[in-house]
């Protein structure tokens, strides 16, 4: 079975993927935010993610009201909660202290996609890869939950890195021809050893085992003159879920920041 996917399509203003957007409690990149917000079928904030949204959209906050804010609400500021409540944003308390606000917010999002039969190709998350290291590790763990909850790809973007967990046992064909690809990409075996085959990379893996303490494919890059140069395809197969991290470059210089 083959899974064809363009990881950076969501960042193209003219991209084809239909997305939903989840905002976590990390500084928001303005360009990323405005490109993604205008495309999203559902927009949600996890707890303090609402503070970040409120801050970024200062002066025009009523044009950027999310569909819901969920979480244990130990981070959202009272005035931010009151503002969005007044604007009819749904406030959903998720008190469970065994799952992160990110995981719980994602679970709600996936239920809504199902309930309203929304045509969605990708769930895009802003934040989650910086700040507290335990939270960053938890973000990656959320991707494992996500694979049990949905067939949809769940992406996490922050600070020029896009992270996505590739399913095990499937050939992934990754198109890397958007023009937004940066100079490196990595394959990280998170849950245990990953028997891996790749094509289209500078350092390909030929049925090699990626494993912490053995071999981890960081600072890899796309093959400069491969046979698939025209299409720019990378293929990856691993017997276990494998974390893909891509560098992206988005230089819009605020070109989209007036569109709600």
Ligand X SMILES: O=c1ccn([C@@H]2O[C@H](COP(=O)(O)O)[C@@H](O)[C@H]2O)c(=O)[nH]1
> Rounded CA gap, 43 and 179, in Å?
26
Least distance from ligand X to the Cβ atom of residue 39, Å? 21
Residue 128: contacted member of ligand X, ligand TPP, none (CB under 5 to 8 Å, by partner type): ligand X
The residue with its CB nearest to ligand TPP is 100
Residue 98: contacted member of ligand X, ligand TPP, none (CB under 5 to 8 Å, by partner type): ligand TPP
- Packing angle of the helix pair 78-86, 49-56 (nearest 10 deg): 70
- Toward ligand X, which CB reaches closer, 67 or 181? 67
Q: Is residue 66 involved in binding ligand X (CB under 6 A)?
A: no
Would you say 105 and 71 are in contact if contact means Cβ atoms under 8 Å apart?
A: yes
DSSP string, 160-184: TEEEEEEPTTSEEEEE--SS-EEEE
Q: Is residue 100 involved in binding ligand TPP (CB under 6 A)?
A: yes
> Rounded CA gap, 92 and 103, in Å?
14
Q: Is residue 95 involved in binding ligand TPP (CB under 6 A)?
A: no
Pick one of 3, 9, 30, 72: the residue that binds ligand TPP (CB under 6 A): 72
> Rounded CA gap, 178 and 148, in Å?
29
Q: Please choose, from the candidates 217, 250, 174, 257, the residue with its C-alpha nearest in 3D space to the C-alpha of residue 11.
A: 250
Helix (H) or strand (E) holding 187: strand 181-188
- Toward ligand TPP, which CB reaches closer, 71 or 189? 71
Residues near ligand X (CB under 6 A) are: 24-26, 46-49, 71, 75, 100-102, 127-128, 131-132, 135, 139
Q: Binding residues for ligand TPP, per CB under 6 A?
A: 47, 71-72, 74-75, 97-102
């Amino acid at each position: 079975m083959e899974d064809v996917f363009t990881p950076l399509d969501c960042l193209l203003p003219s991209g084809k993927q239909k997305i939903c957007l989840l905002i976590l409690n990390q500084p928001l990149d303005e360009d990323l935010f405005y490109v993604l917000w205008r495309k999203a079928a559902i927009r949600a904030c996890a707890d303090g993610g609402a503070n970040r949204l409120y801050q970024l959209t200062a002066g025009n906050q009523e044009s950027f009201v999310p569909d819901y804010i969920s979480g244990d609400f130990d981070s959202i500021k009272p005035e931010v909660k009151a503002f969005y409540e007044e604007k009819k944003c749904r406030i959903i308390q998720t008190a469970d202290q065994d799952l992160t606000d990110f995981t719980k917010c994602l679970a709600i999002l996936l239920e809504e996609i199902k309930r309203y039969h929304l045509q969605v190709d990708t769930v895009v998350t802003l934040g989650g890869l910086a700040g507290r290291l335990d939270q960053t590790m938890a973000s990656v763990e959320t991707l494992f939950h996500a694979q049990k909850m949905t067939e949809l790809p769940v992406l996490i973007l922050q600070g020029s890195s896009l992270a996505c967990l590739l399913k095990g046992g499937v050939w992934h064909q990754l198109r890397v021809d958007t023009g937004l690809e940066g100079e490196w990409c990595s394959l990280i075996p998170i849950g245990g050893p990953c028997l891996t085959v790749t094509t289209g990379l500078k350092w390909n893996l030929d049925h090699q085992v990626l494993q912490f303490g053995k071999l981890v494919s960081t600072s890899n890059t796309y093959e400069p003159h491969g046979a698939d140069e025209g299409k720019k395809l990378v293929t990856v197969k691993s017997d276990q879920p494998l974390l893909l991290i891509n560098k992206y470059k988005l230089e819009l210089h605020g070109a989209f920041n007036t569109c709600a």
